[in-house]
Chain A
Amino acid sequence: MSARMDRGVVTQSLAQIGACGLFLLTLLAAIPRSFRYGRETVRQIWFVGAMSLTIVMTCGLFVGMVLGLQLYDVLSIFGGTSATGTVVAIAIYRELGPVVTALLFAGRAGTSITAEIGLMRATDQLDAMEMMAVDPIAYVAAPRFLAGIVALPLLGVVFCAMGVFGGHLVGVTWLGIDNGTFWSNMTATVDVHKDIINGVLLKSIAFGIVVSLIAVYQGYTTPPTSEGVAYATTRTVVASSIAILALDFVLTSFLI
């Protein structure tokens, strides 16, 4: 521990990234073995995905509503309020949907994965598994990793649908944009390939991989103390948020 403290911040971060990369390789190698624990993966999808639905849907609704409100306000300056639906949809599909869902997912599911695995480490459950010839990477880490990759794109899509619904609610029901104009402008501009597949799905899958990897890695390598678990949980949120936003920029510059 003290030896690690001695090294500089840069070296330490590099070591973290390197260790994380090596952990990813171990994890990928363990995935075929984890297929025999399919039920565990399903349980994790339920836990990180279905249990996050409420928060994701609520946030999606409010994000869509506030976008509708702001855009109506700004676009009315140019007399272009009919474009509200288009801009709400494009903003949510391309950026807000995947990014906000991933941030929520890191806070809601990533932390609990880290804390759970961290406590298993702290209470020697992982060591116990190894003694019983159960590979903890295949039984504990890989199912959670896979569950995150499956759950985040689905949550992202639900978020987007709720966002568009929220935008419609504010724009059409409250502010009086014509219903047909709202939808026809949206369908005329939004493109399946560019906005749905490249926007929502591809970004969500990439974020799912990154967030799940960080959460599982932080839990698995946490120091076996209560303080260590606390730090690991914090680091999961911080590292995930930075990784999501940075990766979002990189992905966008490639996809646009």
Chain B
Amino acid sequence: MTQRRSYAVGTGLFIVLGFAALAYLATQTTSVANARQGDSYTLETHFANVGQLKARAPVKIAGVRVGSVQAIDLVPGKEEAKVTLSIDKAHEDIPDDSVATIFTSGLLGDQYVGIQFGQSKKALAEGGIIGLTRPAQQLEEMIGKFFGGGSAADRLGGTYKVTGHFTNVGSLQAGAAVKMSGVPIGSVDTVVIQPGHLDAFVTLAIDKRYAQIPDDSAAAVFTSGLIGSQYVAIQPGGSPEFLKDGDEMVLTQSALQLEDLIGKFLVNGSPSDNKNGAGKSGGQPDASSGK
């Protein structure tokens, strides 16, 4: 009988130990450990793009977790995402002009919603809407901005075309951006060599919104960054007349060849020489010939 009881006690201990381990695993090592026991209230936000945000993603203020994303839906009839946030009752003092932003933890991490406080004295109530939002940053867009000449402007207003002759366009391709003061205002339409000419003939399609470009402006082929793609930069002149559809830009500046520059630098030595040399080869506006 004593032997039997020791079995029973030992078995009981074993079962209790098993369930204790189960409770430990389930509550301490899983997302249950993150679940808040307290009451919560919901806020609504609208984003232009939620990226990879998922339901149950954390909501953070100053990096501290205050709640989670409850639901992500599409606003009916609009290209807009409605994100419902569930916030702990303990954090009821979020100003109603706060900004909600979708952040990424680390370069490859998951996305979460960050709330930055505004200045308002009024706090958001249950069901309140955070009006100011910043959408998820798409990595592709950022890389595009960094390496590319920037995305070409949309052509909502239609375009007008101007032309120019360049002695060397480098690796400029149709579709490359046209920028003025760094802002994309159009795109390169065609890059061709006309019969009977030895220089490149480039057609630029410029958005009609930017119709007030002086007709003595210069067009230059620039490179964004050291290894970026090439784009056409317009440097405004001082003429009171503006460029019209079909006009030709007389002042052009060809692409600088990295190989040329390095060669000059190695041969001439000093940086100041290099600057002059570069200016002589392609930096000087060369009036197009043949017309």
Main secondary structure of the interface of A (DSSP, over half): helix
Given known contacts A45-B15, A50-B11, is B4 in contact with A161 (CB within 8 Å)?
no
Q: Given the complex, which residues of B lie within 8 Å of A155, measured CB to CB?
A: 18
A188 in contact (CB, < 8 A): yes
B25 adjacent to A42 (CB under 8 Å) = no
Q: What distance in Å separates the Cβ of A121 from its nearest Cβ neighbour in chain B?
A: 24
Q: For residues 176 through 213 of chain A, which have their beta carbon under 8 Å from a beta carbon of chain B? A: 183, 186-192, 195-196, 200-201
B19 adjacent to A50 (CB under 8 Å) = no
B17 adjacent to A45 (CB under 8 Å) = no
B146 in contact (CB, < 8 A): no
Q: What distance in Å separates the Cβ of A30 from its nearest Cβ neighbour in chain B?
A: 21
B29 adjacent to A50 (CB under 8 Å) = no
Q: What is the chain B residue whose CB lies nearest that of A186? A: B29
Q: How far is the CA of A201 from the CA of B23 in the complex (A)?
A: 12
Q: What is the chain A residue whose CB lies nearest that of B13? A: A50
Q: How far is the CA of A206 from the CA of B17 in the complex (A)?
A: 21
Main secondary structure of the interface of B (DSSP, over half): helix
Q: How many residues of A contact B (CB 8 A)?
A: 32
Q: For residues 24 through 71 of chain B, which have their beta carbon under 8 Å from a beta carbon of chain A? A: 24-26, 28-34, 58
A53 adjacent to B24 (CB under 8 Å) = no
A50 adjacent to B25 (CB under 8 Å) = no
A35 in contact (CB, < 8 A): no
B10 adjacent to A50 (CB under 8 Å) = yes
Q: Given the complex, which residues of B lie within 8 Å of A89, measured CB to CB?
A: 29
Q: What is the chain A residue whose CB lies nearest that of B33? A: A187
B18 adjacent to A196 (CB under 8 Å) = no
A53 adjacent to B14 (CB under 8 Å) = yes
B22 in contact (CB, < 8 A): yes
Question: In the complex, which of the residues B18, B26, B31 contacts A153, with contact meaning CB atoms closer than 8 Å?
Answer: B18
Q: What distance in Å separates the Cβ of B33 from its nearest Cβ neighbour in chain A?
A: 4
Give 1 or 0 for each of A157-191: 1 = CB within 8 Å of chain B CB. 11011001000000000000000000100111111
Q: Given the complex, which residues of A lie within 8 Å of B242, measured CB to CB?
A: none
Size bracket, chain B contacts: 20 to 34
Q: How far is the CA of A188 from the CA of B30 in the complex (A)?
A: 7
B21 in contact (CB, < 8 A): yes
Q: How far is the CA of A151 from the CA of B13 in the complex (A)?
A: 12
A157 adjacent to B14 (CB under 8 Å) = no
B75 in contact (CB, < 8 A): no
Q: What distance in Å separates the Cβ of A204 from its nearest Cβ neighbour in chain B?
A: 10
Interface centre among B4, B8, B13, B14 (most CB of A within 10 A): B14
Q: What is the chain A residue whose CB lies nearest that of B110? A: A188
B interface residues (Cβ-Cβ under 8 A, vs A): 4, 7-8, 10-11, 13-15, 17-19, 21-22, 24-26, 28-34, 58
Across the A-B interface, give the 10 residue pairs with the lowest CB-CB distance, nearest first: A154-B18, A50-B14, A161-B21, A187-B33, A46-B11, A190-B30, A157-B22, A157-B21, A46-B7, A192-B30
8 new A-B pairs (CB below 8 Å) besides A49-B15, A157-B21, A196-B25?
A: A42-B8, A45-B15, A50-B11, A50-B14, A154-B19, A164-B29, A188-B58, A192-B32
* CB<8 Å pairs between A and B, sample of 25: A42-B7, A43-B7, A45-B11, A45-B14, A46-B14, A49-B14, A49-B15, A49-B18, A50-B14, A150-B15, A153-B18, A154-B17, A154-B19, A154-B22, A157-B19, A157-B22, A158-B17, A161-B24, A187-B28, A187-B30, A187-B33, A190-B29, A192-B26, A192-B32, A196-B26
